[in-house]
Amino acid sequence: MPEVSTHPISKAIERDDSKRLMVFAGRTSIELGERIAARLGIGLGDHAVKAFANGEIYVRFEESVRGADVFLVQSTCSVFNGHPQSVNDSLVELLIMINAAKLASAHRITAVVPWYGYSRQDKKSAPREPITAKMIADLLQAVGVDRVLTMDLHAGQVQGFFHVPVDHMTAVPILAEHFRDRRSFGDLRNERIVVVSPDAGRAKLASHFGEKLGADLAVLTKQRPEHSEVEMTMLIGDVEGKVAIMIDDMIDTAGTLVEGARKIREQGATRVFAAATHGLFSPPAFERIESSDIEEIVVTDTVPLRDGAPQRIRVLSVDRILADCIHNVFSDESVSEIFSGENQLF
């Protein structure tokens, strides 16, 4: 009879190497990607992005990503500076980056999408309309994404459009800290503050923001005759003699913002500020802001600020939050702990 080994049989082959973390940035988020990589103590990954004569996008990673945890940073937004491209170009570039990483045998691919484009169409509001927020989720998953990190989604249900994990981050702590510092040490000291929601749908966000500042709450109501038009109908709450801070997830053409500020000033507010995570500032936003009652607008760098921005726009960086989230995902640690569980705003 053959001799039977008495040594235990291993059920796995152990490898001596460790996991690799690699960060690449698309053309809409190069500066943000560089800051994220610097905070992680690594260099930004090297890849080539070109366009064929007919406009088709070409992507190639210039270094091996085999077996690595790859994080691809790209906001699906328009870029007017440096590399002019549309929202659709940014989206397709991200999809191609994911596909290239998948075919290059990356271990895990995480799309870091600070601004999730097409998110405003998250449900059917009229017959024969699309639900583009879910369509984008389907596209990302179809090309092979394993995980998505995003920030201050327009609607909470977008998280449910994915079959892969979605980590939802928020810039509210950064925005609140900015105004809290000004209230403690700056020009808002001893001022009575009211946080104003631009519509009923943002009331919970405004309430959360107000709690961090110890401020009152007011809510504007509005209606939209057209997609790019807005009419403020009512202000619920007391703003008279107070400094008002309007808070929203995004600013596009600034129509809602400017009309809201006008209504607030009419009701007796002494000063009007605004804050939002995503500053898209599509034309004619800058012109509207210049002629508005808003003293300062605070946004983050989830979307790059185009040239010609008014001086009253202030940009804060979300690189620390994104870097911390990437580190925790890579290390299989909790993301919600970074926000002390306060990143569920819906």
Read off the pTM. Answer: 0.90
Question: Is the model's pLDDT at 298 over the cut of 70?
Answer: yes
CA angle, residues 168, 201, 320, in degrees to nearest 5: 30
Cβ partners under 8 Å of residue 318, min gap 6: 32, 114, 151, 169, 171, 174, 277, 300, 301, 302
Q: Are 81 and 304 in contact (CB under 8 A)?
A: yes
- pLDDT, residue 201, reads 83
Peptide bond into 284 cis (omega under 30): yes
| All CATH 3.40.50.2020 domain ranges in the chain, comma separated | 21-169+320-337, 172-316
- Which of the four pLDDT bands, split at 50, 70 and 90, describes residue 83? low
Question: Is the model's pLDDT at 278 over the cut of 60?
Answer: yes
Q: What is the pLDDT of residues 220-243, one digit of tens each?
A: 987 765 655 666 668 999 999 999
N residues, the chain = 346
CA distances from 167 to 31, 36, 114, 294 (A): 22, 17, 11, 33
Q: Which residues are catalytic?
A: 222
Q: Tell me the average pLDDT across 303-322.
A: 95
Residue 9: φ, ψ to 5°: -90, 125
Q: Tell me the average pLDDT across 309-333.
A: 95
- pLDDT, residue 6, reads 54
Range in 128-132, 158-162, 239-243, 336-340 the model is least confident about: 336-340
Give the percent of the chain with pLDDT over 90. 75
Please, what is the average pLDDT of the chain? 90
User: Has domain 172-316 been given CATH number 3.10.310.10?
Assistant: no
- Which of the four pLDDT bands, split at 50, 70 and 90, describes residue 19? confident
| SS3 state at 259 | helix
Q: Domain spanning 21-169+320-337 has what CATH number?
A: 3.40.50.2020
